[in-house]
Structure 1
Amino acid sequence: MRPMLAVFAFMLVAAAPPATVPVQLGVDTPAPLAGRIIVFAEPVKPGDKAPESIDANPFAGTLTAVAARDVRSLSKGQVAVVDADTDTVPGPWSQLPSGKYRVQAVLDVNGDYNYSGRGANDVVSPITEVSLPGALPPIGLTSVIPATDPYAAQSERGKTLAPFLAKTLPVDFVSPELSAFWGRPVHMRGWIALPPGYSPTSKATWPTVYATQGFGGNLPSARWEAASRTQLMEQGKIPPMIWVVLDESSPTGTHEFADSVNNGPWGAALTAELIPSLEKQYRMDARPSGRFLNGHSSGGWATLWLQTCYPKIFGGTWSTSPDPSDFHDFTGADIYRPNANVYVDATGKPVPLVRMNGKDVANLQDFARLESVLGPYGGQMSSFDWVFSPKGADGRPMQMFDRRTGAVDPVVAAYWRDHYDIAYRLEHNWPALKRDLDGKIHVIVGTEDTFHLDGAARKLKAVLERLGAKADVRFLPGKTHGNLYEANGDPNALLIQITKEMQAVARPGKTN
């Protein structure tokens, strides 16, 4: 998961007039622009420096109010008025505490702000200092964000990895099943890292790892990950294998390689189409004991799901910090309890979402409401609906919970349980799954996971223990969502350990 959040204290102001924000397009464009205007405001603190941009970010501790609206056609000079009392968080801007604020507007033309934030071709305004509540002058959208090279090495680590980018090979496969589902060509994409000394004419074959990334991952980040695996193999830090780093991002968030009535049959396409195609092209083991899965966060859920749904295909998953695998603990909320609500627990206490340094800093309600304001597509919660929910009468996935109240729809919750609750599926199908799945599940999560994902992992472990399953569910003391793989200054320590465990399955008795 990768949340964005507005946390703001506001008070009621009696008889305050409705707040509006006029936003004017100030750039020439070949055609009128469509998209979502998002306006951010944060209070000015005495002595603080103006930031380069204003956004909603729980990790930075910013206090940000957000208002938004869609526009269908906006040309240079035209003004769109944003109602800052309706589609807003944390509440109506007319009720904000009086004072000086810094305001910035963004026109999200790509419709992906919830997933990747500001990007190429979005139009932004300069930061303007205003007084709120009160009438505002038009805020000018005056700068178009240019496209950037996703492979430009900015950090020291990036500079170290850059030489290995050229050694990665692209995956670009048009899936017949997904194309039939969508009625247009649908590509499955990713990047391949080959082991040192790989030869397409050799008789030797290699174990293969199918890896996925977490929420926010994309095709360029998959290439960086493949380059990292190439580097580690050439350094002799991990065993030689073939890595296929898959991009699971989509306009709706992440499809997580689940077979979904909304996103399509991604799991079937991977196992029945892409993998056989790759095994014809590359010197892969092409047997279960040489096919492995590894993913983190949403990618952790995806790989855990693939292993449990297709146990005869894969020889083991190493899923780290997976999204909830037991919906009795959906990042802290039990969606099955009577009158379930994801915003508050049975006692009425807010359900926390983000934990940092042992302290809860954000709750699920604030996160979900902000996501709704930022846009209908690509957010973490809407992504879950696109993967897990039945299709509604309007053709869109039904929401598991009401974004305004947090109330759970029990019909949708039951559908989630019957189709995508991994713990439930294991518990109710274990006799049929045991032969092909026993010993193949490896789940690793930190006891201080940033999004409380250790809770669902503990419930999954309890189910596996009741079943007498041979499974490995580990909890690393003090580790969070972000530092799980690091130990003793090595950011790849857990990855090195995982690959050695994979090697022990694929090549018993061989150490390298």
Structure 2
Amino acid sequence: MKKALLALVCLTAVACQSSETSAPTAPSFAVSFGKSVSETALDGRLLLILSKDDGREPRLQVRPGVDAVQIFGMNVDDIDPGEAMVLDESVFGYPHNSLSEVPAGEYFVQAVLHKYDIFNLGNGKTVKLPMDQGEGQQWAESPGNLLSEPRLIKVGSSSDPIAIELDQVIEAIEPPADTEFIKHVQIRSEMLSEFWGRDMYLGAHVLLPAGFNEHPDARYPLAVFHGHFPADFAGFQTEPPDENLECESSNNDDVVCYNRIRQEEAYDFYQKWVGPDLPRMLIIQIQHANPYYDDSYAVNSENLGPYGDAITYELIPYIEDQFRGIGEGWARFLYGGSTGGWEAFGVQVLYPDEFNGTFASCPDSLDFRHYSATNIYTDQNAYRMQGDFNTVERPAYRDYLGNISVTMEDENHMELVIGDKSRSGGQWDVWEAVYSPMGDDGYPLRIWDKVTGEIDHEVAEHWKDNYDMRHILQRDWETLGPKLEGKLHVFVGDMDNYHLNNAVYLLEDFLESTTEPYYGGFIDYGDRQEHCWNGDQENPNYISRLRYNSMYIPRILDRLLTTAPEGADLTSWRY
């Protein structure tokens, strides 16, 4: 019996090996571009993607987890037109770490050169980073980046380098046009320009209230709807849904005709906005894409610069001046989800007098003892739990039943391929760019080794002192408490895909213990709700996530009317 079992194990191992055989000779690729796409030398990150799926371009299929395609990445500096950039088995990849591990077979291949600019920072350091080109820091869609035409290749059939030509350039993006209700603004930020050593801009999409032109003496409250990079003001349209719209399902929820549902909800919000039930106010969505990410997290940072001050003291006052805002802290509010949830909460805490309340949905970790599935203060490794005889991978993404499809190592290794030195434009890298101190080379210090996951607890202490919201509140409650009383409101699903509910539990433990004053806000949980549940206990998540504005504006009005100072303008905008 033992011999039979041993034979079965051996046969199984052989079968497993033979089912996916690596290429006998590691392939290599020689990538180049001609003067037709760039007459000058270029710096950047060369990316090469292999996929079995020809339904979309390989560059648009890159993602972590069980459905990952293969990607490799390397830095290139001062590469001339016609000069070959060689990717071989020494170049780091994901999910296979080396080209020598890629199974022999046929693949669709595409190369991308993600271009870097040189920044001579105000502190004297020089760094190379990708400048946002109006796309929201998305390497696969950034205007000016070079591409190759996808084509089918065979790996393992030859030892000769496979030639790839970058002969396409991603086109520039047309900015959105103003409409009756939506206006677009952009300002040069003095603070950010000084930090970055070049002109830097902040933008916003401004939703005007109905009757704005007919009531020239009205002065309006302002709500900041925080979130990822907005190409335009989302979720608002003045025309009914297109009757001829071809149905598209939601990737996350498998909801039929979700694109039509989005249009229906956007039109419904327009009808509410011009109707009698919602207050007349300004809502803004901010464009603060930067060389590290699609937004700045709206706070000051050693690596990104003083975005918190620039937004609060340059951009918002400009908007209030241009569009007749009240321009005082009692009449400003914050809300958002996920990244926007952290921003809405963090900005309220760090600028307590400038805003009168936050409604933060599914916020990124507010307590780094639960930084997703890792405690950065006590854990030794971010990627795995280690025992005397075994290790267990830490999860990064789960569904509401607890099924794991992506690990911490998956997401971080994919980012490391896309860009080293926190330059991937990915989620873990931007947290690092925002929260970490700047290293001697001008780039963010790593919170952990990106390859092994070993945590740097000295860097973690910097995170704790400056960006761990629960810690800051507990440390400074004597002074912050009176300024934040009644202003903090958080919503999260108890099965958030990214485990963000765990940090909210710890935040709630502290807030419920507060006295003199008691915090006076609330925290609400959605049973079995995933990311990004925002407080709607009646409708499915895929519906409520489209209703941030109509859900939170009435709450804002209640808060505003009960806390406005004596003599405040509560009439000019209520028509």
TM-score > 0.5 by shorter chain: yes
- Where do 1:242-321 residues align within 5 Å? 242-253=282-293, 254-321=295-362
Distance 1:150 1:10 in 2: 52
Distance 2:385 2:197 in 1: 42
8 A contact 2:21–2:104 mirrored in 1: no
Following superposition, the deviation at residue 483 of structure 1 comes to 6.3
> What is the alpha-carbon root mean square deviation over aligned residues?
3.2
Following superposition, the deviation at residue 414 of structure 1 comes to 0.5
Following superposition, the deviation at residue 89 of structure 1 comes to 1.7
Find out whether 1:38 has 2:47 as its counterpart: yes
Find out whether 1:121 has 2:155 as its counterpart: no
8 A contact 1:104–1:126 mirrored in 2: yes
Find out whether 1:360 has 2:404 as its counterpart: yes
CA-to-aligned-CA distance 1:10-42 (integer Å, 9 cap, x gap)? 999899655422223367134135232211113
Question: What is the aligned partner in structure 2 of residue 209 from structure 1?
Answer: 223
Distance 1:138 1:265 in 2: 44
Find out whether 1:65 has 2:87 as its counterpart: no
Following superposition, the deviation at residue 95 of structure 1 comes to 1.9
Question: What is the aligned partner in structure 2 of residue 473 from structure 1?
Answer: 523
- 2:456 is matched with which residue: 409, 412, 415? 409
AA of the residue aligned to 1:138:
A
Following superposition, the deviation at residue 484 of structure 1 comes to 4.8
Find out whether 1:239 has 2:264 as its counterpart: no
- Relative to 1, partners in 2 of residues 1:124 and 1:462: Cα closer, same or farther, differing over 3 Å? farther
- Where do 1:51-450 residues align within 5 Å? 51-55=55-59, 56-58=61-63, 62-74=67-79, 77-90=82-95, 91-109=97-115, 111=130, 115-119=137-141, 120-122=143-145, 123-132=147-156, 135=159, 136-149=161-174, 151=176, 165-199=179-213, 202-214=216-228, 217-218=229-230, 220-221=231-232, 223-224=233-234, 232-235=272-275, 238-253=278-293, 254-337=295-378, 340-345=380-385, 347=387, 348-356=391-399, 358=401, 359-376=403-420, 377=423, 378-450=425-497
- Relative to 1, partners in 2 of residues 1:33 and 1:236: Cα closer, same or farther, differing over 3 Å? farther
CA-to-aligned-CA distance 1:210-268 (integer Å, 9 cap, x gap)? 12213xx14x24x3357667665125574321112111321111321111222222222
Q: Secondary structure at the match of 2:186?
A: strand
AA of the residue aligned to 2:30:
P
AA of the residue aligned to 1:462:
D
8 A contact 1:37–1:106 mirrored in 2: yes
Which of 12-21 and 73-82 deviates more? 12-21
Which of 119-128 and 499-508 deviates more? 119-128
- 2:551 is matched with which residue: 497, 501, 504? 497
Structure 1 stretches of at least 4 aligned residues deviating more than 6 Å after TM superposition: 9-15, 509-512
Distance 1:128 1:107 in 2: 19
Structure 1 alignment gaps of length 5 or more: 1-8, 152-161
Following superposition, the deviation at residue 428 of structure 1 comes to 0.9
Which of 123-132 and 248-257 deviates more? 123-132
Between Structure 1 and Structure 2, how many residues are aligned? 483
AA of the residue aligned to 1:121:
G
- Relative to 1, partners in 2 of residues 1:425 and 1:213: Cα closer, same or farther, differing over 3 Å? same
CA-to-aligned-CA distance 1:61-111 (integer Å, 9 cap, x gap)? 534221122333455544321124332122112122333333222222364
Q: Secondary structure at the match of 2:507?
A: helix
Following superposition, the deviation at residue 315 of structure 1 comes to 0.6
Which of 408-417 and 109-118 deviates more? 109-118
Following superposition, the deviation at residue 356 of structure 1 comes to 3.4
AA of the residue aligned to 2:554:
K
Distance 1:506 1:200 in 2: 24
8 A contact 2:65–2:410 mirrored in 1: no
Distance 1:279 1:371 in 2: 38
Distance 2:168 2:194 in 1: 40
Distance 1:265 1:455 in 2: 29
AA of the residue aligned to 1:224:
A
Q: Secondary structure at the match of 1:250?
A: coil
Following superposition, the deviation at residue 460 of structure 1 comes to 1.3
Q: Secondary structure at the match of 2:496?
A: coil
Following superposition, the deviation at residue 291 of structure 1 comes to 0.7
Following superposition, the deviation at residue 274 of structure 1 comes to 3.0
Identical-pair percentage: 26
Distance 2:136 2:175 in 1: 19
Name the TM-score, length of structure 1 as normaliser.
0.84
8 A contact 1:321–1:481 mirrored in 2: yes
Question: What is the aligned partner in structure 2 of residue 157 from structure 1?
Answer: none
Question: What is the aligned partner in structure 1 of residue 11 from structure 2?
Answer: none
Structure 2 alignment gaps of length 5 or more: 1-15, 117-129, 238-265, 564-569
Following superposition, the deviation at residue 367 of structure 1 comes to 0.7
Following superposition, the deviation at residue 465 of structure 1 comes to 1.5
Q: Secondary structure at the match of 1:81?
A: strand
CA-to-aligned-CA distance 1:253-304 (integer Å, 9 cap, x gap)? 1321111222222222233333333333333233333210012221211111
- Relative to 1, partners in 2 of residues 1:103 and 1:274: Cα closer, same or farther, differing over 3 Å? closer
AA of the residue aligned to 2:438:
K
